[in-house]
Amino acid sequence: MRILALLAVPLTLIAAACAQEPQTEAGPPEPDIPEGAEQAIFASGCFWCTEADFEKLDGVIEAVSGYTGGETSNPSYEDVTYGETGHVEAVRVVYDPAQISYSRLLDHYWRNVDPFDATGQFCDRGDSYRPFIFPVNAGQMEAARASLEQVRARFDREIAVEIEQAGDFWPAEAYHQDYADKNPIRYQRYRFGCGRDQRLREIWGEEAGGISG
């Protein structure tokens, strides 16, 4: 749970955890995919961080936090986190393939995930934080599998990230969208307290964080 990352920061900042935000608003509608654009879906723990990691990239039009991989329709944050619906927190990335390729998105994804942790990511534990790649078509599936094999060969150990054909993607509540931009201090406190960047540097060294723009 995100609350664990915040035990080391002042109590006034505990509200930074996702679990502390009240669910009072509906999520955004399904985005319109511009002509020529494509989409990709990734899960690497807290979707606040995954969304922020992808939105900084040139060629990314939009990144939407949401839930996927589960059994129920239109789940809430509480359903996913506490209700064992089978969903994970994920981000749908809408991108311009003329500016950035799916392969480049994969490279960026890997350098923003702990590929060895099957039971969560960083300080966030539980099934809803498991790491996944969700290809939306056969081409993405082939590229995702190839990238996983490259990572496995690089580290010479089993990789915990799962690859699963994309299914329904349910946008998360409005207060989760663009969280890093709307709440920069809380976000940075959470991210640091969670040890995300510290762990990425341990794994990836200077490559941690992926593409810079």
The catalytic residue positions are 46
Distance separating alpha carbons of residues 189 and 181, to the nearest angstrom: 13
Instruction: Encode burial over 138-177: b for 16+ CB neighbours within 10 A, e otherwise.
Output: eebbebbeebbeebeeeeeeebbbeebebeebbbbbebbb
Stated as kind and residue range, the H or E segment containing 82 is helix 77-82
Report which DSSP code applies to 42.
Answer: E
Q: Return the closest-CA partner of residue 85 out of 174, 168, 144.
A: 168
Contact by Cβ (8 Å): 41, 134? yes
Buried b (16+ CB within 10 A) or exposed e, 111-136: bbbbbebeebbbbbeebbbbbbbbbb
